[in-house]
Structure 1
Amino acid sequence: MNQTRTLLFFALMFVAYLLWTEWEKDYVHPPAPAAPAAQVDAAGKPGADASIPGSTAPAAVPNENAPPAEGKAELVTLSNDVLRLTIDTRGGSIVRSELLYYPTNPVTRKDPVSPPVRLLDDEGAHFFAAQDGLVSSNGAAPDHRALFHAEKTETTLADGQKSVSLDLTWTDPSGVKVVKRYTLKRMDYVVDLDQRVENGSTAVWTGNAYHQLQRVANEKVNWFKAYTDPAQHSFFGAAWYSPDTKFETLPLVDFAKKPLNRAITGGWVSMLQHYFFVAWIPPAEQSVTYSSAVVDPNSATPRYLVRAFGPAMQVAPGQSVDSVARLYIGPKLQGTLDAIAPGLELTSNYGWFTIIAQPLHWLLSQLHAISGNWGVAIILLVLLIKAALFKLTDAQFRSGARMRKLQPRIAALKERYGDDRMKMQQATMELYKKEKINPMAGCLPILITFPIFIGLLRVLSESIELRHAPFFGWIHDLSAPDPFYVLPVLYFLVTLLTQRMMPTAGMDPTQAKMMKVMPLIFGVFFAFFPSGLVLYWTVNGATSLLQQWWINRSVERADAVAKITKA
């Protein structure tokens, strides 16, 4: 296989990858077979099969169909230096979260101010809430529709403080009191939740704590944005982790077809989107029942719900019990998430290329620590990969240079044998053997570099560190397409020059026509790819072009010396 066929092979693999990524969204990582989970209606009321057989749960999960408690709710805020949370006293749920270190748009001289990313959101079109509460089989309990009371409307981490907390209180005439406490630590995206049940009644209180995430689907976009927006190619849906089956995902489109219903110890459940995610993390020693449901599935905007339902707990009269959990609201920061909970780093969801993407991310991070610029780190990565594959590419290019010199002889063979392809192929292979040329020399490097290319595509698409990361000049975001298409044009020119250095004698006419349009096709493809990826491939192509040019010259010089020696 010469270099021309190698490029065609790469194009075929690339198109296959694009098709595979679309398929992967819906069919990869299906959950294990489980009993059907209940769908719920517009108010969230479960069906008759909503209880979990064999668990310690009470007879019913939270019933959102019940009328809300009387009284006026209010919004209160809790902030540290990286998160600002808005909590609704109706249920004590977190209905809004702003990530203070992450602007919505790139910050430039022209646009120096951008609002922070809002992950949890109470707006209808972007609804996404983190809810929690209690249910009881023999008494009163506040679910995520109960009315709580907050002493303060705003609580902020002060200078010198390591943590800050906000208490919400619910009381029942029977004497049962629940204090819900949210705690934020400095420079931390983890929210600690403590639901304390104080039983002031005369009977034993039995109940369960639960934690759930509820959101709507992404807004529909036109085909052009679906292709050009990197966020549209990222996984969007539910994910969970268990020590036995590890990381699993459930796209929103599969909530009704493949519902989650499983008891897990030492796991967590989350909702993922591009760059950010929210996850409930129960205590590792608890056996928790995880489930999914579709709220009001027949409406124009159904809501998708995942729930972690805790074990039963009893509180004797005059006693109190605490139910704790953690909630992560933030970015997919590699290198830090597994310290919060096992498997949490898998939320970056590199898919089948995790084994390649994670080391690439680590290597890029080290190069960034040295250079201070992610674009420079990408260039350094290219040089390291080229150095590691030097022997392979050297053999490939020398084979190509020798094949280029054979073009006149191959053209003569084609003229001699005409349309007899069998004889033409046999004669060509005999010529290669005589001249000690291996036409397969170009295959191995591309088989190695293609997975690296896809792994890097995953890294650049999913790594939060590269979001809004500037390079130089006009490129303010390496995770977004080049706004002026400079890099795609450079890549087109590099590919065009590379193609002209390839041997084409004896090539099939149809293949020759395809080769002429390949640089343009790839230039158009890369016009909408992350500029960091196009930078990688442009620098990779330019260094390969220089290496091929140098080898061609060295082969020509060696042949000239050999002729002089023979003379």
Structure 2
Amino acid sequence: MNQTRTFLIFAWLMVATLLWMEWGKEQRAPVPVADTAAAIAGPDASIPGAPASAAVPGAVPVAPAAPAVGAIPGMGATPAAAVDGLLQVRTDVLDLALRGGVVARVDLLRFPQTRDDGSAPVRLFDDAPARFFAAQSGWVSQGNAAPTHEAGFQPESAQQQYQLAAGSDTLEVPFVWHGPDGVSIRRVYVFTRGSYAIDVRDTVYNKSDALWQGHVYRQLIRLPLAVKSGWTNPESFSFNGATWFSAVDGYSRRKYDDFVGDGPLNQVQTGGWLAMLQHHFFSAWIPQPTDEVTVSLQSTPGAGGAPLYLVREVGPGVSVAPDGQASTSARLWVGPKLVGQIKAQGVPGLDRAVDYSRFSIFAFLGEGLFWILNKLHGLFQNWGWSIIGLVMLVKLVLFPLSKAQYQSMAKMRKFQPRIAQLKERYGDDKQKFQVAMMELYKKEKINPVGGCLPVLLQMPIFLALYWVLLESVELRHAPWMLWIQDLTARDPYFILPVVNIAVMWATQKLTPMVGMDPMQQKMMQLMPLVFGVFMVFFPAGLVLYWVTNGSLGLLQQWWLIRRYADKPAKPGDTGTAVAKK
């Protein structure tokens, strides 16, 4: 198979894949939120899947569910009222507002919304009704009073603003709840310099004369972002929804529209984590590795009737004897998908929050490609040159296959006159023509699909890199040089796409279209333009990869064709007997 046909295969595979991705989004109609409020557990309901009470001292009874998620602080109030009672906390990377059981607002100080000077930072958590997103945590108890995320926790001091001091590595913000029966719970938010992980530590002090039992719950709740659909908007292909991970069941995810349609979730797991993902950023609750929790998904109408989506974990349970105390803690991640910091948490599977693809093969390749890119970035200190370096490494690895490809092409070119003779001899008898041609291939040891393998191997690499460039916040607003100042956005002047078209055109011209009928030749002449225009709105980093790949391939093809080129076989050369059959 010659180079033009392998290029055609690649182009159509690429187009078909992206069209399939777009079709999948269009076919998934929004799921109505009919009567979902009834599915939300109220203050007196039981938590499905919670461990039952044992008949031994210290057993934790079945806890009632967390308060109804419809009663969210600030959702039904005006924006001015929503900020009442919030403490302001600022570190070197976060600017946030806290209410005892709610992280209500978070700005990511190192991530501006745009490249414009003075751009406001990205706001991940938001208490504005139109962009609501929050982390909430509280306690539930079957027979005792307990603080919820809505009410109970109060600031331990009169201080209203906290800031990480110069020279300090940590900052603590304490809250306390005092129950009516001598039980109190002290909650401390611990912030660490340079970190997007917040430690949330609860300590229960029982000064009563009776056993106190309860469960801690932690949840993320949000109104999903509106994302413009279409293949011209790469952000629309990024996963938006809830994910969770356990050592037993591995990584799972569910889009917001599928919360109800895919059935209820009440999964008991030990450790793991749960999260809500969006393009470049996410938030996650991470319990202790030995904590048994029950993970559930819920949906309920919010302000204005728009659905709110919630992912929750309940547990662990604690049992505190009179004059005793017990502690439990978890980490709340709220920030960017920085692979290095995520892996530094030491949490199994948390790096899957950088969701390169729903397909495991592309996720695996994406992780590997980013690892190589990251190493190259350490060398070049520039993501654009790192992409070019990656192309060179891929070309080096695939060179033996490319060499075999062009050897196969040269050999097939030599026997094109013979194949033309066979076609003329057998005319419209396609079956006899195919038999004779395969006998010729077998006799001359020609592999007719030998040229396809390098292209087919590059296809998953190309698609995996698409998701890497789409998901990697490290490349967000990252410049290459000159006019390319954001590798995850399209080329503002379309220079790279034009160069890409020129490279594909030159590659096509270098490859003879022997044996093609006029219609195929016309199609191939249009392919550089069609495929080049198709990539106009792709991220500049992806087009840079393809331009570099095409340019090196063009140079490689020119050199290998010159090296392995041979004169066409004449009718009297080896294999004439086949032609005469």
TM-score between both structures, scaled by the size of structure 2: 0.85
1:478/1:530 contact within 8 Å kept: yes
Which of 83, 86, 102 lines up with 2:97 in the alignment?
86
| SS of structure 2 residue aligned to 1:507 | coil
Contact 1:40 1:46 in 2 (8 A): no
Quote the Cα distance in structure 2 between the aligned partners of 1:199 and 1:243: 34
- 2:385 partner amino acid: V
1:379 and 2:388 are equivalent in the alignment: yes
Which of residues 429, 449, 454 is equivalent to 2:458?
Answer: 449
For 1:456 and 1:212, locate their aligned partners in 2 and report how far apart those are by CA, in whole Å: 33
User: More deviation in 283-292 or 77-86?
Assistant: 77-86
Distance 2:27 2:12 in 1: 22
Shift in alpha-carbon separation, 1:529–1:163, aligned structure 2, 3 A? same
Counterpart of 2:169? Answer: 162
Structure 1 residues 512, 149: CA separation in 2 closer, same or farther (over 3 Å shift)? same
Q: Out of 166, 186, 192, which is 1:185 matched to?
A: 192
Inter-CA distance 556–202: structure 2 relative to 1 (3 Å threshold) = closer
Unaligned runs of 5+ in 2: 29-34, 53-60, 75-80, 569-581
Name the residue aligned to 2:575: none
Question: How many Å apart are 1:79 and its aligned residue?
Answer: 2.2
Q: Deviations over 1:372-409 (max 9, x none)?
A: 11111111111111112112112212333454566666
- State the Cα deviation string for residues 175-221 of structure 1 (Å, max 9, x = none): 33332211101111110111233334444322211100001122153
C-alpha separation in 2, matches of 1:304 and 1:163: 32
User: What is aligned with 2:297?
Assistant: 292
Q: Residue 64 of structure 2 aligns with which residue?
A: 59
Partner of 1:7, secondary structure, is helix
Q: What is the aligned length?
A: 542
Describe the superposition over 1:123-166 as per-residue Cα deviations: whole angstroms up to 9, x where unpaired: 22221100001112222211111054323221111111110011
Pair 1:245 & 2:249 matched: yes
Label 1:27 to 1:342 Cα distance change in 2 as closer, same or farther (>3 A): farther
Matched, 1:491 2:500: yes
Question: Does residue 1:328 correspond to 2:337, yes or no?
Answer: no
Comparing 194-203 with 257-266, greater Cα deviation is found at: 194-203
Alignment of 1:283 onto 2:288: yes
Q: Which residue of 2 aligns with 1:551?
A: 560
Amino acid at match of 1:277: F
Distance of 1:188 and 1:334 partners within structure 2: 13
Structure 2 residue aligned with 1:307 = 312
- Once the two structures are TM-superposed, the CA of residue 489 in structure 1 deviates from its matched residue by 1.1
Q: Could you tell me how far apart the structure 2 residues matched to 1:380 and 1:72 are? A: 49
CA distance 1:393–1:130, change in 2 (3 Å) = same
* 1:381-396 alignment, distance < 5 Å: 381-396=390-405
Following superposition of structure 1 onto structure 2, how do residues 9-48 of structure 1 map, counting pairs within 5 Å?
9-21=9-21, 39-40=36-37, 45=42
Instruction: After TM superposition, list the pairs within 5 Å mapping 1:421-436 onto structure 2.
Output: 421-422=430-431, 425=434
1:332 shift after superposition: 1.7
Q: 1:410 to 1:504 in 2, by over 3 A?
A: farther
Q: Is the 8 A contact 1:44 1:295 kept in 2?
A: no
Cα distance change of structure 1 residues 248 and 165 upon mapping to structure 2, 3 Å threshold? same
Query: Deviations along 1:238-280, whole A, 9 cap, x unmatched?
Result: 1111111111111111111232211100211111111111110
Summarize deviations over 1:62-108 as a string: whole Å, max 9, x none.
Answer: 2457798999942212222112221135xx300111112222113xx
Shifted more, 206-215 versus 1-10: the winner is 1-10
Aligned-partner residue type, residue 7 of structure 1: F
Q: How big is each residue's C-alpha offset from its partner over 1:332-377, in whole Å with a ceiling of 9 and x where there is no partner?
A: 2224423421110111122431222212111111111111111111
Structure 1 CA distance, aligned partners of 2:72 and 2:554?
A: 71
2-side partners of 1:411 and 1:323: how far apart?
A: 78
SS in 2 for 1:440: coil
1:201 and 1:394 mapped to 2: Cα distance? 80
Question: Quick check: 2:491–2:539 contact (8 Å CA) kept in 1?
Answer: yes
Match of 2:275 in 1: 270
Contact 1:213-1:306 at 8 Å conserved across structures: yes
2:485 & 2:23 partners in 1: Cα distance?
Answer: 32
- Contact 1:51–1:59 (CA under 8 A) maintained in structure 2: no
Residue 460 of structure 2 is aligned to residue 463 of structure 1? no
- Which residue is equivalent to 2:4? 4
**CA distance 1:312–1:413, change in 2 (3 Å):** closer
Paired residue secondary structure (2:187): strand
Structure 1 residue 503: Cα displacement? 2.8
CA RMSD of superposed structures (Å): 3.2
The answer (yes or no) to whether the contact 2:40–2:298 under 8 Å persists in 1 is no
Equivalent pair of 1:204/1:315 in contact (CA under 8 Å): yes
SS of the residue 1:102 aligns to: strand
How far is 1:60 from its partner? Answer: 3.4
Aligned identity (percent) is: 46
CA distance in structure 2 between the partners assigned to 1:262 and 1:433 by the alignment: 57
Distance 1:416 1:319 in 2: 97
Secondary structure of 1:355's aligned partner: helix
Deviates further, 419-428 or 443-452: 419-428
CA shift for structure 1 position 44: 7.0
List alignment gaps of at least 5 residues for structure 1. 29-37, 560-567
Does 1:199 pair with 2:206? yes
8 A Cα contact 1:162 1:186, kept in partner? yes
SS at match of 1:540: helix
2:536 is matched with which residue? 527
**What letter matches 1:316 in structure 2?**
A
Structure 1 SS opposite 2:125? coil
Paired letter, 1:346: R
Shift of 1:281: 0.9
How far, CA to CA, are the matches of 1:557 and 1:256 in structure 2? Answer: 64
Residue 347 of structure 1 corresponds to 353
Quick one: distance in 2 between partners of 1:204 and 1:44? 26
The farther-off stretch of 433-442 and 19-28 is 19-28
Distance in 1 separating the partners of 2:441 and 2:512: 13
- For 1:300 and 1:229, the matched residues in 2 are separated by 27
Conserved 8 A contact 2:45-2:64 = no
Distance in 1, matches of 2:230 and 2:111, equals 23
Cα deviation for residue 42 of structure 1 reads: 11
CA-CA distance at 1:430 after TM superposition: 6.2
Structure 1 residue 170 displacement after superposition: 2.9
Q: For structure 1, which segment, 184-193 or 451-460, has the greater mean C-alpha deviation from structure 2 after superposition?
A: 451-460
TM superposition shift of 1:287: 0.9
Check conservation: 2:234, 2:539, Cα contact below 8 A.
Answer: yes
Greater shift, 406-415 or 192-201, is seen at: 406-415
Does the 8 A contact of 2:39 with 2:298 survive in 1? no
1:539 pairs with one of 548, 552, 556? 548
Partners of 1:47 and 1:22 lie apart in 2 by: 44
Q: What amino acid maps onto 1:375 in structure 2?
A: G
Q: Return the alpha-carbon distance in structure 1 between the equivalents of residues 195 and 103 of structure 2.
A: 16
Question: CA separation of 1:67/1:392 partners in 2, compared to 1, >3 Å: closer, same or farther?
Answer: closer
